[in-house]
Each structure stands twice: as structure tokens, then as C-alpha cells.
Amino acid sequence: MNDIIKTILNHRSVRHFEDRPLTDEQIRLIVECAQAASTSSYMQAYSIIGVKNIQTKKKLAEQAGNQAYVEKSGHLFIFCADLHRHEVIGEMEGKNVEDSLRSTEKFMVALIDAALAAQNAALAAESMGLGICYIGGIRNNLEEVSKLLKIPNKVIPLFALTVGYPAKETAKKPRIPFEHIYHEEEYKQDQEAYVRELEQYNEIVSNYYDQRTNGIRKDTWTGQMARMLSNPTRMYMKQFVEKKGLNLN
Amino acid sequence: MNDIIKTILNHRSVRHFEDRPLTDEQIRLIVECAQAASTSSYMQAYSIIGVKNIQTKKKLAEQAGNQAYVEKSGHLFIFCADLHRHEVIGEMEGKNVEDSLRSTEKFMVALIDAALAAQNAALAAESMGLGICYIGGIRNNLEEVSKLLKIPNKVIPLFALTVGYPAKETAKKPRIPFEHIYHEEEYKQDQEAYVRELEQYNEIVSNYYDQRTNGIRKDTWTGQMARMLSNPTRMYMKQFVEKKGLNLN
């Protein structure tokens, strides 16, 4: 097993960081690694906003649900799906690109491009001995986040990546078993086997919580998911994204 | 510079592969690496379909626009945004999760989860001496692809990842300059500087094509983008995704 695979498999989210900023060289290298990821049709449909200002960090931490590790980290990268650049390009080149940019297809391209870049950034950081955590919590209130970061139309902040020197290790949560997430040749058709696999995974997750909390947390994966999903959140998203001129046709 | 950063920065798409399949051990390790990526609220909202069958590969290659390297590779992974699993969970747990699953927010979660996992898979493969190429072309005709792979509701095949032993090296296309993709503290407000940066990038891309084609290809990045975007493609996507029960509210 090579070092890259070791780093990948050893990933865990870090939520406690030392009070030690990243250097500009580290930031630049992480961004360059992000950019080296594949991009759909060379579009590079994303932007990265780096936040050092402590006031901005405090506000973002509040908006993300008072997650202290947003504020106290080595650096905060905000990954945005970005089709504003391509809107400007349309003007520069005198071409009508609006229909394309408003499409669900290009919205998907921008999301995928941004996420591929982010995962490269995350691994680059981890390879440097840093810890990371993705913060989807900024999507709690994208209206405020967008105002704070002066985000133009056709740009959606997707998540923050908080990076820093780990002060505390966290545990690695067990993933869905290989046999369930991976389908051979076609999507699994056997519904009974499918449910049975989920029940087997429940046992694994249940044991994990049991051991981690000395028997206090009794939970399963499907139970946790069903509770969470029966309480819909961020239901303003469709309207917000459309108002920003994306995902419209 | 460590090995991981070297691997990340050295990425280039590989479109010519040796006729040599991946072993089951390689496939499993690549999938386990994919799964080690972060996932929003532990949702793991994706599936991976592995295709070995040559007939299926041929059909997918056709649907992706006759891209031979879809057919001739070591293995084909199809990454899907997957909320079908969570629909089944709703039934198992007797909870109403439909409003959540139909939301644009959860559609975004599934796309991001799938892309983060895919980029881990890509890097794991590259670290093993394999080459990769993302194939967005399968989105040309998701109706057919979904039929072929027996994809259920609430699942969208996003792209294929073709993996194999490289038979031919490709060049690395120059990325958007750091100063343009990276914003400090807030999104760049200076429109003139913004356009100037794009023009500077045009020079870099123009030189790249010039050198690669011995002066035959005269092109710029903004020119290429504007031409492509003024010809909207995959405009059926919104309807398709909605028909699959996603991105609806």
C-alpha cells in the first residue's frame, strides 16, 4: 500500500486545530493542487475564496451553526460553483451563452468541478500533515454568506474547507460496505438483498457508536438518516439557486 | 514536495490504455479509497457501478460520443448521485423523507458526495501507476444509460471514470492562474482587473496550443469557452433529473 492510498484511507475530519495559520506558500500549493483536478470540458467552473479575517471567520462560523472549528483553524477555503466567469466571457466574446449557463447541466458541471478540486485540496493538505473538515453548514444561509463574501450572480458557495494543524484526532466512521455501494454491471435489482445489506451495515454502525460512547448511544445508520431526512432543511435552496441565475432550464 | 502532491500536480487525462484489465483487488481498493472521502452528514449519497462487460462498454462508448477509451480501458466505474438508498431507508424506518429527497439541497449533496468520492478514486488509481479519464459524455443520453444500467429513481449517473494502464501520455493543459481562481477575503470586485486576468490566461492557453500543434491551432480559452457555451447541450437535463424525482423543490 503506497503513501497516497494510506493518506486517503486514513482520512478523518478534524474539528480541533492549533492556533497556527497556514503560510502563503501552503495556501498556494493547496490551491494549485485543487486546480490540477480534472475539469469538465476545460471549464474550470469554480472559484476558491480564502478567508483569514477573524471577523469574517466569526460570522461564517455563526452562519454555519456556531461551529467553533470554522473560526479556529489555520485557514478557511470557500469552494464556490462559479459560472459568473463564463458570463463575463460571453460579454468579452460577444456570444450568447446565457441559455447554457442557466441549464441544470451546467449547474451540475460547476458543482462537480468544484468538488473534484476541493477533494484534491483536502488530500494535499492532509499529505502536508494538516487536518481538514468540510463545512456544508455555510449552506444554512447562503443569502448572508453571499452578501458577506460579495458573491456575484451565477456563483454558489457550496462548502467551506477548514484546514489546520490537528489538535485532536477524531475517529473514522465506518462506511457502507463495499458490496452495497459497488454494483457489478448494473444497479442491484434484488430489493430483499438490498435491505439486508443495509441492516448488516446498521449492525456495524451500531457497534461503532456503542464502543465510542461506552454503550450510551444506541443508533443505527438507517435510523439516523431517516430522522435527519424527515426534518427537511435548507428548503430555500432551489429558489436561491434560481435567483442566482442557475439551474433554471 | 511530497509524493501525494507530486501525483496530484502530475495529473493528466489518459485516453489510450493497454489492453489489460484491473484485478479485483485493484478495483476494491479504488472503491474503498473513494468511500474514505468526506460525506455530507454521513449520507454517502452515491453509488458506483463497475462495468467489465464488453457489450455494455461498447454501448456506453457510443452513448458518450464514440470515445474509444471508454471501451478500451482496464475498468469502467460509473459514479452516480444516489438518493434511492435513502428512499428505501424512509420505507424501512416508516418516515416521510420524500420532501427532503426531492430538494435541490439534497440533489447538491448527492452530486458533491459522488464527486468527492470519485476524485479519491482517481488519485488512488494514479498512485498505483494507472491512468484515468473522466467521461462526462455519458450525460449525452442519460435515458439510455439509465436503461442499460437498470438505474432506479432518484439516481443520476454523473460521469464515468475510465481507468487503466496508460499506453500514451497526454499533455497537461495550463490552468487558470492562481491569482484569478483564488479570491482573498471576498469575491474580486474589480471588473477591469478580472477581464485583464482572463486575457492574460488567454495568452498562456494560446501559447500552449501554438506549441502543441506547431502553430496550427490558434485559440484562446475565452474563445473556446464562448464557442462551446453558445451551443447549448444536454438541455434535457432539468426535465430528466425532475422525472427521476430529484431537484424538484
Q: What's the CATH number where A114 sits?
A: 3.40.109.10
Q: Which of B92, B115, B241 sits opposite A112 (nearest CB)?
A: B115
Is residue B225 included in any domain, yes or no? no
Are A44 and A103 contained in the same domain? yes
- Cβ distance B47 to A116 less than 8 Å, yes or no, reads no
Chain A contact set for B178 (CB, 8 A): 28, 31-32, 35
Helix (H), strand (E) at residue A131:
strand A131-135
Task: Lay out the sheet containing B131-135: strands in order across.
Answer: A182-184, B46-51, B75-82, B155-164, B131-135
Chain A / chain B CB contacts < 8 angstroms: 348
Nearest to residue A47, comparing CAs of A157, A137, A194? A157
Amino acid at A174: P
Chain B contact set for A40 (CB, 8 A): 134, 136
Give the C-alpha separation, A175 to A115, whole Å. 20
- Cβ distance B36 to A104 less than 8 Å, yes or no, reads no
Q: Which residues on neighbouring strands pair with residue B156, listed in sequence order?
A: B81
Are B73 and B145 contained in the same domain? yes
In A54-93, the residues whose Cβ lies within 8 Å of chain B are 56, 80, 85-86, 88-90, 92-93
The model's pLDDT over A71-108, given as tens digits with 9 standing for 90+, comes to 888 999 999 999 999 999 999 999 999 999 999 999 99
Amino acid at B172: K
The model's pLDDT over B195-213, given as tens digits with 9 standing for 90+, comes to 999 999 999 999 999 999 9
Are A183 and A131 contained in the same domain? no
Closest chain B residue to A94, measured at CA = B226
Is residue A8 included in any domain, yes or no? yes
- Cβ distance A111 to B116 less than 8 Å, yes or no, reads no
By the CB < 8 Å criterion, does A204 face chain B?
A: no
- Which grid coordinates are listed for A53? 479575517
Assign A46 to helix, strand or coil.
Answer: strand
The model's pLDDT over A151-204, given as tens digits with 9 standing for 90+, comes to 999 999 999 999 999 998 788 899 999 999 999 999 999 999 999 999 999 999
- Cβ distance A88 to B198 less than 8 Å, yes or no, reads yes
The residue among A1, A2, A3, A5 with the most chain B CBs within 10 A of its CB, best to mutate, is A5
Is residue B31 included in any domain, yes or no? yes
- Cβ distance B50 to A185 less than 8 Å, yes or no, reads yes
Give the C-alpha separation, B120 to A221, whole Å. 23
Nearest to residue B9, comparing CAs of B145, B140, B126, B169? B126
Are B24 and B137 contained in the same domain? yes
Is residue B47 included in any domain, yes or no? yes
Is residue A227 included in any domain, yes or no? no
Nearest to residue B154, comparing CAs of B197, B184, B111, B185? B111
Are A12 and A104 contained in the same domain? yes
The model's pLDDT over A135-148, given as tens digits with 9 standing for 90+, comes to 999 999 999 999 99
Give the C-alpha separation, B59 to B57, whole Å. 5
Q: Which of A86, A181, A189 sits opposite B225 (nearest CB)?
A: A86
The model's pLDDT over A123-132, given as tens digits with 9 standing for 90+, comes to 999 999 999 9
What tens-digit pLDDT sequence spans chain B (249 residues)? Answer: 899 999 999 999 999 999 999 999 999 999 999 999 999 999 999 999 999 999 999 999 999 987 777 888 899 999 999 999 999 999 999 999 999 999 999 999 999 999 999 999 999 999 999 999 999 999 999 999 999 999 999 999 999 999 999 998 788 899 999 999 999 999 999 999 999 999 999 999 999 999 999 999 999 999 999 999 999 999 999 999 999 999 999
Tell me which residue range forms the domain holding A141: 3-171+234-243
Is residue A229 included in any domain, yes or no? no
Chain A contact set for B243 (CB, 8 A): none
Is residue A47 included in any domain, yes or no? yes
By the CB < 8 Å criterion, does A216 face chain B?
A: no
Domains in chain B, number: 2
The model's pLDDT over B234-247, given as tens digits with 9 standing for 90+, comes to 999 999 999 999 99
For residue A69, pLDDT beyond 80: no
- Cβ distance A13 to B38 less than 8 Å, yes or no, reads yes
